[in-house]
Amino acid sequence: MKKYLTVQVSESQLEDLVRQSPELIEQGLKYVDHQKKVEAGRLDVLMVDSGNALVVAELKVEEDDGILLQGLDYYDYVVTNAESYARLYKKFDIDPSQKPRLLLIAPGFSVTLLNRVKWINAPITLFTYRCVEFEDKRGEMVPVYTEVSLPRPPEPPVSVTLDDHYAYITDPVFRKAAQSFVDELRSWDSQRVTSDANQNDISMKVSGRVFAYVSAYRKYFKVYTHDREGNWEGYKIDRLKVLDDVKKKVRANFERKRKGAT
């Protein structure tokens, strides 16, 4: 294994790393522009995702709760002018009917910020990062991004269907895999298992007891289930071969929930 060091970077260096390799943050993410002047100042990086939705990225090299309000100011401007951006950047096939997203990237996020984000009705994704430098390639930095799981607010009564969640997945292979996965879980007990479409995910229940969540992303989906100690664990399904192992974990939790319901 190669030896590496964690290195500090400036905000301009971080911006360069994001621009050069946006796919390290999210598969299918493409760089569009940076330091674009808007009413609130200059937004750090503008991108487009695999669903052709605009993505506003705000970057910080230290933990700063101000990143949220600053990012929202830029996001507001981009949402308001989405059609203009689609015309300005024609080669990126931006779909102005797709709701833009806000992406926050920083070394860490406070509990206060996380609790604020859960109440904002806008698609916001948070990533922490660290930059590493291999000893045999000094001066060549590699960013490592980790998505932050956001706390869940109480679910409001909204009309969302299973098909809405499946349609959000732009990769047809994983869209089909997610649908097949949910169908298979329902087949474990067709009388008592239900699949309910919530605003953020699909909840799988046996006799009213949740044993798994399925969350749709652009190029993959995630499955959440309890481990033996009762802790929620999340599994990113971006390779089909990991599904069998995840099914075993979900099945074990399903059996525990089913026994507890009888």
Residue 1's pLDDT is: 57
Closest CA to 261 of 203, 196, 208, 189: 208
Contact 109, 99 (CB under 8 A): no
Structural domains in the chain plus CATH codes: 4-147 (3.40.1350.10), 162-261 (3.90.1150)
- The residue behind tokens 């999340």 is 234
pTM: 0.60
Measured CA to CA, the distance from residue 76 to residue 27 in angstroms comes to 25
| Cβ atoms of residues 234 and 172 within 8 Å | no
CB-CB contact of 222 with 214 (8 Å) = yes
pLDDT value at 157 more than 70: no
What pLDDT, on the 0 to 100 scale, is given for residue 155?
61
Rounded distance between C-alpha atoms, residue 110 and residue 261, angstroms: 38
Q: 23-51: per-residue pLDDT in tens? A: 999 999 999 999 999 888 999 999 999 99
pLDDT of 153 above 90:
no
Distance of alpha carbon 251 from alpha carbon 239, whole angstroms? 19
Q: How many CB atoms lie within 10 A of CB 105?
A: 25
Quick one: average pLDDT of 68-86?
96
Higher pLDDT residue, 78 or 229? Answer: 78
DSSP string, 41-102: EEEEEEEE-TTS-EEEEEE-SS--THHHHHHHHHHHHHHHTHHHHHHHTGGGT--TTSPPEE
DSSP string computed for 193-240: EEEEE-SS-EEEEETTEEEEEEEE-SS-EEEEEE-TTS-EEEEEESSG
Helix%, strand%, coil% for the chain, nearest 5: 35, 30, 35
Share of the chain above pLDDT 70, in %: 95
| Res. 107: pLDDT tops 90 | yes
